[in-house]
Amino acid sequence: MLKIIISPAKKMNETDILPPEGLPHFLEQTEYLLGQMKQMTPSELQEMWKCNDKIALENVERITSMNLRERLTPAILAYEGIQYKYMAPAVFDEEAYRYLQNHLYILSGFYGALRPFDGVTPYRLEMQARFHRQDLDSLYDFWGDAIAGEVLAGCSLLVNLASKEYSKAVLKYLPENISCVTCVFGELIDGKVKEKGTYAKMARGEMVRFMAEQKAETAEELKGFDRLGYRFAEMYSDEKNLVFLKA
């Protein structure tokens, strides 16, 4: 089966457009991380989050009253970053939702791996965050191969639309019998393909939408992506990288 991985977004919301269908697979681990954050001082948390005072205060208050089992929002609708705005999941039809529920995983430092309709609550915890505690430091070490094990179960082709910060939690443990293609959205500058962060995030969101609308099951089908001015560039692509260049 084809599986897709994407990154989360820092900005989140709570919405009742659609109800969640279940709880995240790694909720026990999430509860542990929440417990660790509750033991940290506001200044320790702000240092870990690397954010301004306003955002730190908001998230300290979130931690104090956070409930991981009630008033939850489907993960696919909870994130508000650029990628999600261009994916525009709020206007998907039921078939597109079903496709994503069967194929898509949102990677998360807090929740591990999320299916689109897993219920989540707003949080702040990037995969690169360091706790600097005796029994917990790196989230990469904390999660180990658990995220990869969940995502890759039953997978024959992995489509990587995640940033390096998140994709490494899966790709590090990718076995040889599972194919993986990373989609690269760039421009040709001085003969080299270069990605620009904002445009790449926009294109990743559009690619998720494209795949859901096309019900894509093969890497070959991805080559038909032609949105936001991008076209598949065969001469710059190989079996591990599908390169799309802006006209």
- Domain of residue 96 covers 2-246
Which pLDDT value is given to residue 49? Answer: 96
Phi, psi of 179 (to 5 degrees): -75, 150
Residue 78's identity, in one-letter code, is A
What's the structural domain count of the chain?
1
pLDDT band (50, 70, 90) for residue 16? confident
* Bridge partners (DSSP) listed for residue 21: none
Q: How far apart are the first and last CA of the chain?
A: 32
CA distance 137 to 121: 23
How large is the angle between the packed helices 94-103 and 197-214, nearest 10 degrees? 110
Question: What does the DSSP 8-state code read for residue 245?
Answer: E
Residue by residue, DSSP assigns 31-52 as HHHHHHHHTS-HHHHHHHHT--
Residue pair 159/200 in contact by the 8 Å Cβ criterion: no
Band the pLDDT of 17: cuts 50, 70, 90: confident
Contact call for residues 227 and 168 (beta carbons, < 8 A): no
Mean pLDDT value across residues 7-21: 92
What integer is the mean pLDDT of 188-210? 94
Predicted confidence (pLDDT) at residue 191 exceeds the cutoff of 90: no
pLDDT of residue 174: 98
Residue 74: strand pairing partners: 119
pLDDT of 190 above 90: no
pLDDT, tens digit (0-9, with 9 covering 90-100), for 127-138: 999 999 888 999
Per-residue pLDDT tens over the stretch 106-163: 999 999 999 999 999 999 999 999 999 888 999 999 999 999 999 999 999 999 999 9
